[in-house]
Every structure is written in structure tokens, then in C-alpha cells.
Structure 1
């Protein structure tokens, strides 16, 4: 009977342990803290964004700034549909929200936590808490896992330790011979400490467009102005795809905002000209256009150096052009970042060329597997990181309990 060790009691760790136990293997999860599934409990504001309704794998992989080609081969074996089926067959029904995110119908992450814990108990998965791994040895076809006061031995080992803000968090993996990409933050909001736009905190746009100056990095979607700067799905997604570039810039850059994603400069010029001719005696500042919130419109008018009492018939060509510019390409100076709520996602981790995408097994050491964010994989916000955890955990667990030909 195989003994399988799983390091990390998060989403990937639990899923790996559950599937590793399906051939009567003895499975033990090693968790460095006193709690399991902590991130699952707090994710999605306590609702747990389980996955995303991207049912075609070709669409699903577009939501991973790093790891898309690797996951393309993995999702064939365990897809979004498989995730839904797995939870629903355990009486956890999921629902799709308007933006594609999927949550338990209960709107409570405890539904997900309890389903995983119940399944692990049924499969007799053991959990050892407060076991902080210091070192791993591979000797005589066994994995010896060392903690400060003890050590355990396994035939197979699945590493599900998640992301780490520092490369030192991957020391024991590097000591086994694996290469690790430097961890850097992903999924963060933009700080704009010197920008007056912060005074408009609370204003949200349903479909804006934001681009990083000097790059092709851009995203569209909901945008939120906060007391520290810019947030919302468009910013979070842009931060994920732009993570390495922003890191290299020390998080100092200019962002260009188009307050309506579908707008063109010509459309703006035409519509403003039409409004001017039809309502020449209306105050510019008092009549928001294009469905913009009144406070944002007033700010854009002021920034365009248009007086609060100016009527449309008195606007100069220069002022009109400035207004179009601020509507179409509003420039904001980014200086720093802020972690998004409780989300903690890093770009970086075990290099994917050293892992088999269809089994999650190391190409360097037999019987060593990886799953979840410990890999150099990360998704944008919306349930994609959990989907990667379920898929990689499933594959690692399923293959970790397979006997080798010489066993």
C-alpha cells in the first residue's frame, strides 16, 4: 500500500489528497498552520468563487497570464464541467452570475469547505497540523519530509504549498533540483497618490478601457475609483497580465483610461458637436453626457479648463478638444500597488517545463508531484485560480497513487 504525503491543506492540497486516496493509498496532509482551507473560506467575500463558466477550454486558457499552454493539456482531463459535476454530485449546487463567476447557491464558502472536508474524511485522509517543512530528501525511492521536531517518510509526495512572496519560500523545492521563477505580485489595484481623481472615490464605470502607456497591455471591463486609486475587474486583470512589466517599473507607470470601452474619438466629437448645436444655452458642467456619473463628468470638465458657468455655445475648439482627450485618453500616474481584499496571488513558482502537464509529476524526480499556485501558473480574478487548483490537484492525486512498473 502506497503512502502519499501532501504538503499544504488548501484547495489544491485537499483535492489532491482526496483523489490520491482512491486506490486505498494512505494519504497524509501536512499543514504548517493550525487551520485548513483558510483561503477557500475567505475567498469571494466569504462566498467562494469556485470556478468560471468558461466551458470551452480554448476560452478558459485565455484567462491565465502565465501557464495557459501548460493548462491547455491539463484541462482536457479535468475541466470546468468536471468541477461543477464533482461538487454537485456532493450536494453543492453552483450558480452562474452575470459576469460568469460561479458560486455555491448557498452563497457561503462553508458549503465548499464542508464538501471537501467530508470527502477527505470518507477517504480517511489524515491531516497533521503545525507541520512546517524545513527540508525534503529523496533517498532509496522514498521522500523524507523534515520538520523541526519530526520527520515523515512517503512513497509519493505532492507539493501544494501555494504561492510565496519570497523565493525563500521555495527553498526546499530548489534543494530537490527544481528551478523556480522569481515570485512577483499579481492581481493588485493601482495607487495614484498624486491624482485628484481619488476625490471621486466610490464612482464605478461598467465598461471602461485601461491601457499601460508604452505597452500593448490593456484591459476593458468594470472600473472603480477608490480613495487610494483605481480598482475593479479591469484593473485587476491588467495587473495580472502586466505583472512582470509593472514589477520591472517598480510600479511606476502611466495608465490611459477611456471611460467608455466602445467609444471612438470621432464618435465623441460628433456627439458633443450635436449636443452643442441642439442645446447651446445649457451649462456644460451641469449636464453629464454619455451616461457618466455627474461627479466624474464635472471633474473631466474642470480638468479640461472649462469654467463651471460656461454654456455649450461658448466652448472654444481648444476646450472641446481637451474634453474629448479626457474622455478618450485620461492619463493617470500610478505609483505603487495595493493587494486586492484578501486575495493573494503571485506570478512565479516551479518552472512548468520541469513538470508533466498531464500528470503533474516532476520530470526530474519520480513520485514527486506539484499542484496549485506553487506552480508558475496564475489566473485573473473570477474563479480561474481555483479552477487551476482543482484541475492540477485532481491530476496530481490521481497519478500519485499509481504504482510504478517495478512496484
Structure 2
């Protein structure tokens, strides 16, 4: 799921059906990108951001609060007729902000909606699937101008794509293509272009697939595949040799190197792991779900920290400029177990920790036995307890 960046509407008088019963409200919108098709995927000079704002390619959303500040209301203009009066009004209890973020309990309260859009060069209406998260905010409550502004903030997420199927030696690999953009939602009919990213997976995979771009080299079904080119909404891939997949359960760890948090020295991880049961938490200072799991991991660590045959390790994926932020989070949360880090820019390299172990979703938990074999790997903060349980069972606790 991708978060869409919402903007506040400066001219709400253009919209009909705005409820008159709520004393505090805001109107937001997200742009939908339907640029004229170009093979390079770039915006034409005349299609500047300012000019796009004047075009009716927006999805509008109303968010209001009641006078008692006990309820929050959300309406999305799903039929794109600039009228909230014929749409469903969703009501949320502000007490539900107490539900922890990134949990199934919170997601269960997030409505899934379908927005219909039509464009001049796409005469048939296309449907865009969205998820509204009324409890989403991109900063802490203290950083808002007021409590009302904090409650009015709302998140919209999307997860649509084109899909193709690649056959490698009789094995099917699914390829999901989507667009990366900072300020708009791509039209589903827009063909493959320079903004396209690709996720490759096979049925039965339990780990979220990595995201790749043109020019990347990846490992698929024990083969090295080069993402070479695109043309006429087709993707061209080259097989360039054999590749050993060391990321799956049952594989033995390859040589892994990370960076020490204290002195930036290179750390050979395999030496630290030798003859130990190892629990690895792949995380980052930028990852909200990762930080939310720290209390559970702290409780787990207290039970195993005195075992000489056990190693609990955090491997953070960070931009170099954010390493101090990582150190601060570790200190503030009283994280006692060993932590190292790897540079974000190397995450897709087949020689990096994250590239070799195919880790891009966070948190990802991995368990390695005393022989250096991966015995468990999964990615979800909802699986923290499961991962911990598997490790405790492995060590006979």
C-alpha cells in the first residue's frame, strides 16, 4: 500500500453537498495523473504542477469533527461529480485513536472504497481502489497547530498495478508494475514508463517482494535477470547467468557484512553468528511498524540475553544522514541487543545484506540455527509473537 499525499483545497465553494452540521472541517484532494502518453514517462513542459492543479483530475475528500470532539466524519467523492451530498458518510469514534497504529484492529476500521474516474483519452471509466485510514498522521500530535488539525488529518492508501507473467523453466513468476510519483496518483491505464517499478513473486511466497526499476539486476528462480528496457507497454528482461538464492528458508547464510553503529567499522556478521542461535530483526528508524514492535522484542530479549548460545541482532537500513536518529531511537527505547546498519543506497545490490537475503519489507524477522541455516523468515509486525515463539521453541526455552 502507498500513502497518497493529500493537499488542502483552497476553493471548496466549487463543491456541493458539504455538510453544514459540523463546526470544524477541511476539504482535501489528491491528484490523479493522466499525462499524455510518452515513452520516457516525463511530464511535458506545459504540464507543470500548477497547470495540473487547474485540471479536474482530483479526488476530493471531506473530513469533519462534531462539536463535542467525540466523532470524526469522512466523505469521499467516489463518483467524481464534485458533490458530497450523494456519497456515503463514514463515522469514526475519536476514542479509537487509542488503538495502536499498524495493527489489525486499526485496519479493520478503515473502509475500502472505489473511485470512478474518466478521462478524455480514456473514454471508459476506470475504477481506483483506495483505503481510507482516518487515524493516520505523518507526525506526532504535538507538531500540529492544534488538536483539531491533528484529528482532521487523514490517510488515503492505494495499491493498484498492471500485472504480467514470466515463465522461467516452466515456473511462473508474476510481475506487478506500478508508478512511483510524489504528488499524484497514476492513472491505471498509463503504460509502462520511466516512473514504473516492478515487484516479482511466485505463488506461495510469504515475503513481500522487492521493488525494482529499469537497469536493476535481480535473482529469480536461481537465475540472474537484468531489467533491460520497455517499449509499447512491454517489459524486456535478459537472463545473464545462474544465481544462488540464499534468502529462502533452508538456505545457508552467505557472507554478510554490516556497519558498526559506534565507529562505522565494517562488521563480518557470520563470525558473530558462529555456533549461535540467531534472531535477526530487519528494521529502520523511518519504519513506524518496526518501532512499534520494540516493546515486544524487549520483553523477549530479557528472557534470552543470558544465553551464551543466543544472539539477538537488529540490522537497520538507513540513510547515512539518519544514523544519529537511529542511535537516538535505540537509546530512548532502551534497546540492549546488538544493532548494526546498512546504507539505504545499497539495499538492492546483490552483494548487500538486504540484497542477498531479499529483505525490503519491514520489519522482517529471520531465525538462523547453529549451523548457519535459515529456519524461519517472515515479514509483518503482526508476526512478531509468532517469530519469537518459533525462536523460543528452537532454543528449547
Between structures 1 and 2, the one with greater strand share: 2
Greater length-normalized contact order (CA 8 Å, ≥ 6 residues apart): 1
Q: Which has the larger radius of gyration?
A: 1
**Structure whose residues are more often helix by fraction:** 1
